[in-house]
Amino acid sequence: MKWLIIAGGLVLVLAGAMPLLMYVQGRVSNPGVVEEIRRDPTGERARKVMLLTLPSGRRLPVNFLREDGRVYAGADGWWWKELRGGPHAVTVFVEGEELTGKARAVTDAPAYTKDVFSRLRPTALPGFGTLVEILLDPEDPGGPVR
**Sequence-distant (≥ 6) Cβ neighbours of residue 91 within 8 angstroms:** 52, 53, 98, 99, 100, 101
Indicate whether 17 pLDDT > 50.
no
Which residues are bridge partners to 105 per DSSP?
A: 132
Q: Which pLDDT value is given to residue 76?
A: 86
Q: Which pLDDT value is given to residue 25?
A: 44
C-alpha 21/C-alpha 121 separation (Å) is 30
Q: Tell me the average pLDDT across 14-21.
A: 46
Indicate whether 23 pLDDT > 80.
no
Q: For residues 19, 21, 27 and 29, what is the CA-based torsion angle, rounded to 10 degrees?
A: -140
Q: Tell me the average pLDDT across 84-108.
A: 93
Could you tell me if 132 and 75 are in contact, meaning their C-beta atoms sit under 8 angstroms apart? yes
Tell me which residue of 80, 92, 24 sits closest to 52, measured CA to CA. Answer: 92
Q: Which pLDDT value is given to residue 144?
A: 53
**Sequence-distant (≥ 6) Cβ neighbours of residue 23 within 8 angstroms:** none
Q: Which pLDDT value is given to residue 123?
A: 86
At 145, the pLDDT band (50, 70, 90 cuts) reads very low
Q: Tell me the average pLDDT across 49-75.
A: 94
Indicate whether 139 pLDDT > 80.
no
C-alpha 130/C-alpha 28 separation (Å) is 20
Q: Which pLDDT value is given to residue 30?
A: 83
pTM: 0.74
Q: Which domains are present in the chain?
A: 31-135 (2.30.110.10)
Sheet holding 130-135, edge to edge: 59-63, 49-53, 88-94, 97-106, 130-135, 70-75, 65-67
